Amino acid sequence: MRRNIGSGAAPVLLMAVSGIVVAADWPQWRGPERDGVSRETDLLKSWPQGGPPVLWSVRGCGNGFSTVAVVGGSIFGTGSLQGRNHLWKRREANGELIWSIPFSEHRGEPNSTPVVHQGKVYALTRDGDLACIAADNGRVLWRKNYGKDFGGRMMSGWGYSESPLIDGEKLICTPGADEAAMVALNKDTGEVIWKCAVPRCGGAGYASPIKVTVDGVSMYVTHLGPTGGVVGVEANSGKLLWQYTRVSNGTANIPTVVARDRLLFCSTGYDSGAALLRLQVDEHKQVRVEEVKRHRGRDLQNHHGGMVLVGNYLYLGHGHNNGLPACVDFQTGEILWKESRNPAGGGGSAAVVAADGMLYFRYQNGVVVLLHATPDGLQLAGSFQETARSGRECWAHPVIANQRLYLRDQDKLVCYDLRPKK
């Protein structure tokens, strides 16, 4: 199952390893604004047979389901190599390895995507080892462990999968302990700024935190375990503001909440369904969550693969361990269209990103589909089958950076050219 789903608010311009990251870079999980949407334009609007041209392909990335980050001409990723968790750095131009360092002794395959910010990389293992690493040379600057340092635990056995969120001086993490369900660390030192207690939270979920601001109240939102549900945590103090548990399950709450203004959309699999929520803030800055629309699991559920908001419409793959394309009106929560069959031979769950008015569905079986992002129904613009596959599930999400598409399949990383021919 796919374990690393997240989206959220972050500045489009971030400080990089050398200079400023432009919006075309992809410095963290789900891109510049942590929502799965690239702001690039002038990309291919249709694909030739066999898909877009391959620029390069490399092996040696190690096993794992994490996606990559692309910043300042470099690619950062994690993988299990020689029985240890490694962070590696490669050249964006050709995939050439610059360095690879073990940052944890744990043997599990990593699920989390590294976050690159102001010359530092933040990487997390499925066992909860969190490391801050210098982006230029791979030197470990500080470490924490979610279990040992915070008493944290996961809601189930696939391991920690979130990608921490950087907001100002803070690194927002989700250990999943009742007394430290979410924590804010100093991003430069690892020192604790605050801990958020969520009694009977049920452990950490598989989602990644996002930042939401409504009527002057800034909060971090994520999906915890079954009894914690979707939560809002006050950004400055770590105070729990609200909870919503009607779209949660006891196995794995995976997709990260999608937000705009005061509206939030959450979903998860295992027949838990989906819901559009509205946040209301009163004169005392108390936050109340209102359910606008709720769908049963058989009607709409995103198991894993994530959801993207393009204009006023939300696009996702529907179905438990399935990726049936669907479109939802983000203002009302109503389903506008939903396919009963995956296009172009796609099978299993679909990881979804968007760019330049197009949707990229990467299916679990290695079929990649290009769709027009439109509320008027499914409009296919191209597809291809990935070759020389690992034989395992293709769960790593697509990454779009600087007119290139990156697809990770365990040890292999392939770079495709999205530039239209002039």
* pLDDT tens per residue across span 319-338: 999 999 999 999 999 999 99
Model pLDDT, residue 33 = 95
Q: Is residue 380 part of a domain?
A: yes
Model pLDDT, residue 105 = 87
CB atoms within 10 A of CB 258: 28
CATH code of the domain covering residue 228: 2.130.10.10
Q: How many helical (H) and strand (E) elements, i.e. helices and strands, does the chain have?
A: 1, 37
SS3 content of the chain, % helix, strand, coil (to 5): 0, 45, 50
Percentage of the chain exceeding pLDDT 70: 95
Model pLDDT, residue 308 = 98
Pairwise CA distance, residues 265 & 274, whole Å: 7
Q: Is 394 exposed, middle or buried (0-12, 13-18, 19+ CB in 10 A)?
A: buried
* Whether pLDDT at 19 is above 60: no
Q: Is residue 177 part of a domain?
A: yes
| Distance from the first to the final alpha carbon of the chain | 40
Q: Is the dihedral of CA 408, 172, 155, 106 positive or negative?
A: positive
Mean pLDDT value of segment 138-157: 97
* Whether pLDDT at 99 is above 70: yes
Mean pLDDT value of segment 371-379: 98
Pairwise CA distance, residues 206 & 304, whole Å: 10
Closest to 152 in 3D by CA, of 246, 225, 229: 225
Model pLDDT, residue 47 = 98
Q: Which residues, listed in sequence order, are joined to residue 71 by a DSSP beta bridge?
A: 74
* Whether pLDDT at 263 is above 80: yes
Q: Is residue 377 part of a domain?
A: yes
Model pLDDT, residue 22 = 59
Q: Is residue 265 part of a domain?
A: yes
Give the count of domains, the chain: 1
- C-alpha distances out from residue 135 to 55, 130, 140, Å: 25, 15, 10
Q: Is residue 129 part of a domain?
A: yes
Closest to 39 in 3D by CA, of 381, 353, 415, 422: 353
* Whether pLDDT at 1 is above 60: no
102 and 84 Cβ atoms separated by less than 8 Å: yes
125 and 108 Cβ atoms separated by less than 8 Å: yes
Q: Is residue 422 part of a domain?
A: no
Mean pLDDT, the chain, rounded, equals: 94
122/7: higher pLDDT: 122
Model pLDDT, residue 12 = 35
Q: Is 283 exposed, middle or buried (0-12, 13-18, 19+ CB in 10 A)?
A: exposed
Mean pLDDT value of segment 15-42: 80
* Whether pLDDT at 145 is above 50: yes
Q: Is residue 360 part of a domain?
A: yes
Residues sharing a CB contact under 8 Å with residue 391, sequence separation 6 or more, in sequence order: none
Query: Which pLDDT band, with edges at 50, 70 and 90, does 414 fall under?
Result: very high
Reading the block at residue 257, the tokens are 């909440």
Query: Which pLDDT band, with edges at 50, 70 and 90, does 21 fall under?
Result: low
Mean pLDDT value of segment 150-174: 97
Q: Is 149 helix (H, G, I), strand (E, B) or coil?
A: helix
* Whether pLDDT at 6 is above 90: no
In sequence order, what E strands does 84-236 have?
84-91, 97-104, 115-117, 120-124, 129-134, 140-145, 165-167, 170-173, 182-186, 192-196, 207-208, 210-214, 217-223, 230-234
Mean pLDDT value of segment 173-198: 98
89 and 71 Cβ atoms separated by less than 8 Å: no
pLDDT tens, residue by residue, 382-396: 999 999 999 999 999
Closest to 73 in 3D by CA, of 113, 20, 141: 20
pLDDT tens, residue by residue, 265-324: 999 999 999 999 999 999 999 999 999 999 999 999 999 999 999 999 999 999 999 999
Q: Is residue 104 part of a domain?
A: yes
Percentage of the chain exceeding pLDDT 90: 93
Domain that holds residue 207: 5-417
Whether this prediction's pTM lies above 0.75 is answered by: yes
